[in-house]
Structure 1
Amino acid sequence: MKTLLISPSYYPQANASYFPLGLAYISAYIQSQGHQVIGLNFNHMPMEKRNPALCDTLLHEEVDIIGISGLTVAYNEIDRLIKVIREIRADVPIVLGGGITSVEGELMMNTLQPNYAVVGEGELIFTRLLKALEEGDDVRKIAGIWCWDADKPKFTGEGESPKYLDELPLPDLDSFGIREHIGLQGEHGQFSYHLTRLDAGRSFPIAASRSCPFKCTFCHHAGMGTYKKHDIGRVVDQIEGYIQTYGINNFSIYDELFSANKARVVEFCDLLKQRNLNIQWFCQLRMDQLDLPMLKMMKETGCNYISFGIESGSDAILGSMKKKITKQTITDAVKIVREAKIGIQGNFLFGDPAETQETIRESLQFQQDNQLYFCDWSAVIPYAGTPIYHYALEKGLIADRETFMRSLCNISGYLYNSQVNMTQMSDEEYKDWYISLRELNDENHRKRCTKVVAGEILERWKSRITIECPCCSHQQTLDLPFPFEQDENGPLLNGPVGVQGMNVLCPDCGRKMHLKARDIPHMKLVYDRFQAEMDALAENQQHAIFIPALDRFATVFLEDIKIDQTCVAAVYDTRPFREDKLFLDRRTQLLDIDRVKELDGQNVVILPWVEYQKVLDWLKHQNVTPKKVICWNQFFRNAISEA
């Protein structure tokens, strides 16, 4: 059968944040069984090009069946894709796979209405489904799928998964645009706000295992079955082959857990040394499976950072999460990883059911004691299938499962507007803690800022900058495109653009450092011109209404832009949870479409904000004419254009 396999994207812009390795394995396997595959990886296209690409494929290819794979956060996007497909080719059956099918299967079938869904590892199950459809057999006899029995969804029971990963063919990377994935990355560095590596070059995805043997309460290994491993020799064979085929020498091991023991990591490093493979690589490990000799081997063979699940600095919370580590384990691991000069990637999680204000303070002290300034705070989210999801259901904290799952597709909106509070704290206390912890992330980053040695503007949105590590004084020079979210017209303006700085990994000592946005030469123009507008208000003794009441970036933005508080007539915000909160020494007032008339004839300053366009539209539709509007997001693009 001719099969169209689709990987949805979680971002509006073309990106290399994720490569669908799981779907590439499925594609390779069904091709080995005689089927044809067309791959569509929407990560490599901006949003406006995805529908045309899908429509073109459906209209010009003889497609027999369509497979879509994604996690639950793709719920709304998969819903949209199914509707588009059915408008064009209602005759083609649609099969869902991936994490979205492994939890809440009946809900998924009833709401998204696919023809079939594969549950678990899909190679064997999907192949059997294709064969049954091709031969006209009863699909209800195939274990491992959801199908329809009359008008009701039916699950056929657990299906068979591959026993030995090494028996599977190599993943079909080319059908899903591996060369586009490589091409979307920076030639000499990997740029992100969270972790920028200037010496890494383009990165290549590889899998050495599936799933994870541990059962943390906030995690669900959706659709991945039991923990299985590729032979390390085969993994290194793949790396060697990919170097020759794609000219890549930097590898991201996508595994949830690269190894549950030290011996496997040592074997990997030994083989890299024996074959003289000069690569760089990244993996995820547990903090209770480390020692200094192993870490030094990892460093010698090119490991430049490791991702760890830190989660908390409170033993009570680590126990509640079933992490099977203690805060002493974390302290000991951090010490030897730093001694080995390998970078640390990790998060603290807030909001476990056992969380209290005391455990938060304990974790905050632990974070400072260990100088984990770049291990950011995130919220515990009760993703479907996790133990804490079932806890939230039992406690009545999730009123409607479909509404909840759809809300997770806009994670920022969920975290600020409909977050599930599983603690004993009040909802107001919980939200206040969440906002303050997110703000703390940015404050912590600035505790270790890089020294800017030299810089010059190369292009409108690009500078060359030399920075010095504050820990070891190592210097590096980068050609830096900034902000990172750009299209052919320049930066995407739908957010606090240009405010968030970037965290850079030192290639020498492995420590992170922070580069402020305003210290980047072309960004300094924006800040200087916006500051000039604020200074003019003060010098002319003019008042202005400020919107919104900043939370996440308030501290760092007001460090970089000085606002004379005598100029602040009032502070407005459209978000109800910010009402009456103190900002710029004023109590925030709620702004809606009716109250926007109060801005008529006033100076209005719109600070960096996701919803800035909403207020501008209100002004237009209500025929409100402020005396002057100084909008960061609009000003941002114009400031450089006029330079």
Structure 2
Amino acid sequence: MVDIIFTRIYHSLDEEFGYLSKFGYVEISNGLCWLAAVARQHKYNVEIIDALPLKLNNNDLASEIAKKSPKYVGITACSIDIYGAFDFASKLKSIRPDIVTILGGAHITAVPRETMERFPSFDIGVIGEGEDTIIDLLDSLEEKNSKKLSDVNGIIYRDAGNISVTNPLRSIVDMDSLPLPAWDLLPNINKHFFAPPWTMHSGKTVTIITSRGCPYQCIYCDRKIFGNKVRFHSAEYVKDMIKTLHFKYGILHFRIADDNFIVNKKRLREICDLLRKENIKVTWSCLARVDSIDSENLALMKKAGCWSIAFGIETGSQKIHDFEKKKVTLEKIESAVKLTRKAGIRTIGFNIIGHPLETIETIKETINFNKKIKIDDFKTQFMVPFPGSELYQIAEQYGTFNKDWKSMSVFQEPVFVPHGLTKEDLIKWNKKGFWSFYLQPRVILAYLTHIRSFNDMKMIFMGGFTLISWKIKALFYPKHN
């Protein structure tokens, strides 16, 4: 008998990425895999049914889980998926009202009480990191310990018609105490998951996380789950993750999704040395802050297989950076990109359209700044003041803000529109920035020289077709673009 099934719901690429759905992707949920691994380590019978890659709608997912008769179902959901998760939980309850539904993830952590009040089909919510909490919770429900639900830290639950919140749980200190994620419980990794096409590593690619937490205070980020203190897996643990995925699952490229992978220079060097010492022939990419870049470590990263680094450029306006507490300068961004490109590592610029204080001129500054510093890939998304962020509390002082949780996609229509701009302005300039960047001859040439496979060629063709179609629409239907 299955004790607990962990799941996330399905949504289409169109629902998440909108007009960029051709460039959409489905990545593994490391969170579900760690929860499952910890539960299994504590002798619970565990399964993962990941509806997203399997494309199971809520009816089919509820039916599939009900057939397996678990005692508990753990659901992860971000803000955009919270209504869908509620719909799934309601359908499951209509079939098997005895199954206890446990909700975790960024959304319930950010707004726990409001979420439980709105959605009665969730029995219990896990607030914050879930690995320690889920064991205490399951042991309490199974009466393996003497704890009542009120004694389990880090949860919100229903209690005789009321909603109760327990004391917060302390963050995990020893990250290596976690077992390796239970990737074996996922559907076939190479068949069902795929990376963003622009990585040019669309085959046999997975995302891994090697640290948690961020010490910075950017107002648009939600740090409620992992906190402001960075906690690291050791270099040995990271090597074991990469080695397992490479040799057991045939993974060739790794997207390291830490907020700032290279902030711990000593650990960075140890990881690079281990990959080279053990002759693990993989490539990898990571995220980094521009103020953590130096030539010596870039050279080591390149030798260890680093293929690209993504920087949070966000805007070409220093005024906006300062307002949002980013604590970087445009000069530092330009220097970091120059050093990275000199080391032979591709650079990706993540940018946001629609900041507080944004104007048409600052959007132009963002587009032109990315061109000026010769970033290799220019990525944009709309500003979304997510629950749990500082901006969520103050956004309406600086523009109109649609707080409908199910609309909070960074790629769909803007939910936040700064004063002085319209939604149509943001959509128009987002598209204009995209095609004006990618129609640069140097960018086209760079993409053509990086073709390694038919999938790469297909991605470039789709991208080119999309750019041309946008340009034609802009010329002949200017009011709609």
SS in 1 for 2:377: coil
In our comparison, the structure showing a higher alpha carbon Rg is 1
Distance in 2 (CA, whole Å) between partners of 1:12 and 1:433 is: 21
Q: 1:143 to 1:585 in 2, by over 3 A?
A: closer
Distance in 2 (CA, whole Å) between partners of 1:73 and 1:97 is: 14
SS in 1 for 2:292: coil
Distance in 2 (CA, whole Å) between partners of 1:355 and 1:247 is: 45
Following superposition, the deviation at residue 556 of structure 1 comes to 2.3
Equivalent position amino acid for 2:136 in 1: R
Kept in 1: contact 2:26–2:193 (CA 8 A): no
Deviation digits for residues 55-110 of structure 1 (CA, Å, limit 9, x no counterpart): 13312x23111110121121121011111111111111111001121111111001
Equivalent position amino acid for 1:143 in 2: N
Kept in 1: contact 2:75–2:101 (CA 8 A): yes
* 2:74 equivalent to 1:99: no
Deviation digits for residues 329-349 of structure 1 (CA, Å, limit 9, x no counterpart): 011011111111211122222
Aligned pairs for 1:593-632 within 5 A:
none
Q: Which runs of 5+ in 2 are unaligned?
A: 15-20
Kept in 1: contact 2:8–2:76 (CA 8 A): yes
Q: Specify which structure has the bigger relative contact order, considering alpha-carbon pairs within 8 angstroms and separated by 6 or more residues.
A: 2
Q: Which runs of 5+ in 1 are unaligned?
A: 451-468, 485-497, 503-515, 519-551, 560-582, 589-608, 610-643
Kept in 1: contact 2:286–2:309 (CA 8 A): yes
User: In terms of mean alpha carbon deviation, does 297-306 or 347-356 score higher?
Assistant: 347-356
Kept in 1: contact 2:350–2:378 (CA 8 A): yes
* 2:328 equivalent to 1:436: no
User: In terms of mean alpha carbon deviation, does 374-383 or 98-107 score higher?
Assistant: 374-383
Aligned pairs for 1:70-469 within 5 A:
70-113=77-120, 114-135=122-143, 138-177=148-187, 180-184=188-192, 192=197, 195-197=198-200, 201-225=203-227, 226-372=229-375, 374-392=377-395, 397-398=400-401, 401=403, 404-408=404-408, 414-415=413-414, 419-421=415-417, 423-425=418-420, 427-428=421-422, 431-448=424-441
Equivalent position amino acid for 1:448 in 2: P
Kept in 2: contact 1:377–1:438 (CA 8 A): no
Distance in 2 (CA, whole Å) between partners of 1:437 and 1:357 is: 11
SS in 1 for 2:90: helix
Q: 1:449 to 1:292 in 2, by over 3 A?
A: closer
SS in 1 for 2:263: coil
Aligned length, in residue pairs: 468
User: In terms of mean alpha carbon deviation, does 312-321 or 239-248 score higher?
Assistant: 239-248
* 2:41 equivalent to 1:32: yes
Distance in 2 (CA, whole Å) between partners of 1:396 and 1:366 is: 25
Kept in 1: contact 2:4–2:45 (CA 8 A): yes
Distance in 2 (CA, whole Å) between partners of 1:396 and 1:150 is: 41
Identity %: 24
Following superposition, the deviation at residue 117 of structure 1 comes to 0.2
Kept in 1: contact 2:4–2:47 (CA 8 A): yes
SS in 1 for 2:219: coil
Following superposition, the deviation at residue 121 of structure 1 comes to 0.7
Show the counterpart of 1:19.
28
Kept in 2: contact 1:256–1:284 (CA 8 A): yes
Q: 1:243 to 1:420 in 2, by over 3 A?
A: closer
Q: 1:480 to 1:16 in 2, by over 3 A?
A: closer
Structure 1's consecutive aligned runs of 4 or more residues displaced over 6 angstroms after TM superposition are 481-484, 585-588
Distance in 2 (CA, whole Å) between partners of 1:324 and 1:313 is: 14
Q: 1:395 to 1:157 in 2, by over 3 A?
A: farther
Equivalent position amino acid for 1:447 in 2: Q
Equivalent position amino acid for 1:103 in 2: A
Equivalent position amino acid for 2:178 in 1: L
SS in 1 for 2:445: coil
Q: 1:38 to 1:160 in 2, by over 3 A?
A: same
Distance in 2 (CA, whole Å) between partners of 1:283 and 1:18 is: 15
Equivalent position amino acid for 1:584 in 2: F
Q: Structure 1 length normalisation: TM-score?
A: 0.67
Distance in 1 (CA, whole Å) between partners of 2:446 and 2:458 is: 26
Q: 1:381 to 1:586 in 2, by over 3 A?
A: closer
Show the counterpart of 1:575.
none
Kept in 2: contact 1:346–1:376 (CA 8 A): yes
Distance in 1 (CA, whole Å) between partners of 2:340 and 2:401 is: 40
Show the counterpart of 1:465.
none
Kept in 2: contact 1:373–1:445 (CA 8 A): no
Q: 1:80 to 1:553 in 2, by over 3 A?
A: farther
SS in 2 for 1:288: helix
Q: 1:265 to 1:30 in 2, by over 3 A?
A: same
SS in 1 for 2:357: coil
- The CA RMSD measured in Å over matched residues stands at 3.1
Q: 1:369 to 1:16 in 2, by over 3 A?
A: closer
Following superposition, the deviation at residue 373 of structure 1 comes to 6.8
